[in-house]
């Protein structure tokens, strides 16, 4: 999976859907996802150094699905800061879900079977607000 963002940008927001296959593979229920900590990390592909390490991310819950009104869709999301996109390059990103319920403890790192490449591309414009 490839995600592209321009240098010194904060948009678009990086989104990673929790597919039915992931939820089923780890037997993740709605109740388990009601008490989680989500973090995002990003490592330089070239140097192997983490540029972002375990920074808080979001879990977006979509219940407004008219065609599947009884199903909930979950998406992990991370909004970059300008500092985090200040260097062009190819990075490897990952989300971690830390289950905080006493009954459901554990941690999952995503994506599972693919690499999440974050490509920060050079931009011909630079916008700063003073």
Q: What does the chain look like in DSSP terms, one character per residue?
A: -EEEEETT---SPEEEEE-HHHHHHTT--TTGGGSEEEEEEEEETTT--EEEEEEE-EEEEE---GGGTT--EEEEEE---TGGGSS-EEEEEEEEEEEESSSSEEEEEE-SSS-EEEEEE--S------
Residue 123: band (very low, low, confident or very high) from pLDDT cuts 50, 70, 90: confident
pTM, whole model, 2 decimals? 0.88
**Confidence grade of residue 70 (pLDDT, cut at 50, 70, 90):** low
- Map out the domains of the chain with their CATH numbers: 2-121 (2.60.40)
Predicted local confidence at residue 20, as pLDDT = 87
Q: How many CB atoms lie within 10 A of CB 77?
A: 16
Share of the chain above pLDDT 70, in %: 90
* Pair of tokens at residue 26: 């780890």
Average pLDDT of span 3-14: 96
- Is residue 128 scored above 80 in pLDDT? no
């Amino acid at each position: 999976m490839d995600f592209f963002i321009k240098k010194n940008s904060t948009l678009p927001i990086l989104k990673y859907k929790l597919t039915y296959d992931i939820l089923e593979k780890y037997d993740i229920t709605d109740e388990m996802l009601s008490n989680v900590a989500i973090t995002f990390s990003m490592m330089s592909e070239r140097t192997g150094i983490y540029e972002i390490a375990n920074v808080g991310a979001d879990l977006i819950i979509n219940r407004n699905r008219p065609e599947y009104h009884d199903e909930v869709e979950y998406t992990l999301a991370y909004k970059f800061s300008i500092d985090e996109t200040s260097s062009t390059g190819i990075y490897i990103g990952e989300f971690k879900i830390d289950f905080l319920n006493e009954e459901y403890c554990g941690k999952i790192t995503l994506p599972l079977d693919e690499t999440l490449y974050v490509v920060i591309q050079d931009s011909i414009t630079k916008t700063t607000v003073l």
